[in-house]
Structures are given as C-alpha cells and as structure tokens.
Amino acid sequence: MQNILLIVDHSFFLHGFCQYLGDTGHFDVSTAISANEATAKIEETPPDIVVLDPRMNDGAGTQVSQYLRLHYPNIPIILLVTQIDPEQSIEAMRMGVKGIALKDSDPDLMVDGIRTILAGGYWFETNITQPALQYSLDRPNRINRSDDLLTKREHQIVDLVCMGLRNRQIADQCSLTEGTVKIHLNSIFRKLSVTSRAELIVNREGMRSKKSSSAS
C-alpha cells in the first residue's frame, strides 16, 4: 500500500478523511496536527504523498511546505483548502505543488486525484483551475506570451504535456531521447516564464482562450 501523510489541524475533518482513505484498502494513512509532529513522521518514514492544509494555525502549513521543498522535494504535495484565490493557485503551481483540492469536495474525486498524482500526474479541481485561468486572462501582463516564441518542436511538446504525457512518453512520440525532451521543456519554461507543467497547461489554455475570443 502507498503511504499518505495527512496534515490537518481540524480534528473532525482529519479523522473522517483518514478513515475514508483507509477504507479504500489502498492507502496506509498517518496523520499530524502540527509542524513538529509532521516533520518527525516524515523523517521517520517518508510518505509517498503529503496532503496538507496550508492554513494551519501558527503557520504550520507553510513551515511543513518549506521543509518538504528543502529536504524532500520529490514527495508530491496536495494542498487541501477551504478556499483559495486565483493568484495563490498560480503561485502554488509555481512552487511545484502537484494538486489542490477543496475540503468540501467529493471524497471519491479526491481519492482519484491522489491516485493521479501518485501515478506521476497533476490534479487540480476545475473550481480552482477555471478562476486561475480567468485571472491569467484578465492580467495579460502575466501571460502575454506569443506562440511565435516557441519552435515547431516546442509547440508539439507543449501539446503532449497538455495531454498529460510524461517525458518518456513524449520522447517516444517525438522520436527523441528523454534528455532532449527535458532540454526542450527547460527552453519552453524559460520562454513562457512558467516553472511547472501545471502552470504551463494554465498558460496554454489561457492563450487558446484569448485566440478564440479574438476570432469571435
């Protein structure tokens, strides 16, 4: 079974969701309600994924996020929020967060999201990505990137990323080595001023929406 560390300081939600995850029979779930408890458990047995409330009391959520980025950057993080504004969503994507879920989401949907991330993907609820996309459209200075910045090959790779393909799959599709795909992605990220695949997808959808609006 895959190990989940659930870090939330609301006891009712913590125990309820922990029970729900355990009942699936696919996850071994541990919990923490403070930064000290969370870091101790991570040190003892690094989890496969962390589900974290970023707005815990005394800044504990921020402390744990920073700790993970510094010491365990390969452990994926899902932010579990009551609400989040579009700019914060985009910033979380930039920081490498793999997913964002609302606390009142359908638990089955959240389990699907956890599985998607554990399989190497990203998962952001539509109620979060749509406002982030609209924010990007309303702030053209943040995404005023022209398709002319990218080469034909880079366009192809961006399209495959938006389809959810990983580097090895993209390499196979394009008859490239995985290392060459990484070089192209670094160039794409630099040209479009993005720092993650999730932010790249939001950027791409934003440009497509702007084109569609202009055409109509």
Question: Which of 138, 158, 191 finishes a domain?
Answer: 138
Q: Are 92 and 79 in contact (CB under 8 A)?
A: yes
Q: Are 46 and 77 in contact (CB under 8 A)?
A: no
Please tell me whether residues 59 and 96 are part of one structural domain.
yes
Q: Are 11 and 33 in contact (CB under 8 A)?
A: yes
Residues 12-23: what's their mean pLDDT?
A: 85
**Mean pLDDT over all residues of the chain?**
83
Please tell me whether residues 97 and 186 are part of one structural domain.
no
Please tell me whether residues 187 and 86 are part of one structural domain.
no
For 36, the enclosing helix (H) or strand (E) is helix 35-44
Structure tokens at 108: 């089955």
Please tell me whether residues 73 and 158 are part of one structural domain.
no
Is residue 106 situated within a structural domain? Answer: yes
- Could you tell me the pLDDT band of residue 208, with boundaries at 50, 70 and 90? low
CATH assignment of the domain containing 31 = 3.40.50.2300
pLDDT of residue 170: 94
Is residue 214 situated within a structural domain? Answer: no
Q: What are phi and psi of 77, to 5 degrees?
A: -120, 135
Is pTM beyond 0.85 here? no
Is residue 171 situated within a structural domain? Answer: yes
Question: Which of 138, 164, 193 finishes a domain?
Answer: 138
Is residue 96 situated within a structural domain? Answer: yes
pLDDT of residue 151: 85
Residues 35-49: what's their mean pLDDT?
A: 94
* pLDDT surpassing 50 at residue 145: no
Domain enclosing residue 153, as ranges? 146-206
pLDDT of residue 131: 76
Q: Please name which of 10, 108, 111 lies closest in space to residue 99, comparing C-alpha atoms.
A: 111
Structure tokens at 40: 């101790």
Question: Which of 138, 166, 184 finishes a domain?
Answer: 138
Residue 201's alpha-carbon distances to 70, 129, 194, 206, in angstroms, are 25, 10, 10, 8
Please tell me whether residues 96 and 174 are part of one structural domain.
no
Query: pLDDT tens-digit profile of 149-174?
Result: 788 888 899 989 988 899 999 999 99
Is residue 213 situated within a structural domain? Answer: no
Number of domains in the chain: 2
Is residue 178 situated within a structural domain? Answer: yes
pLDDT of residue 38: 93
Structure tokens at 31: 């919990």
Structure tokens at 98: 């793999």
Is residue 97 situated within a structural domain? Answer: yes
CB-facing half-sphere around the CA of 64: CA atoms within 13 A = 35
CA 74, 202, 204, 160 torsion-angle sign: positive
Question: Which tops the pLDDT comparison, 137 or 211?
Answer: 137
Is residue 66 situated within a structural domain? Answer: yes
Please tell me whether residues 39 and 120 are part of one structural domain.
yes
Please tell me whether residues 118 and 88 are part of one structural domain.
yes
Please tell me whether residues 44 and 128 are part of one structural domain.
yes
CATH assignment of the domain containing 152 = 1.10.10.10
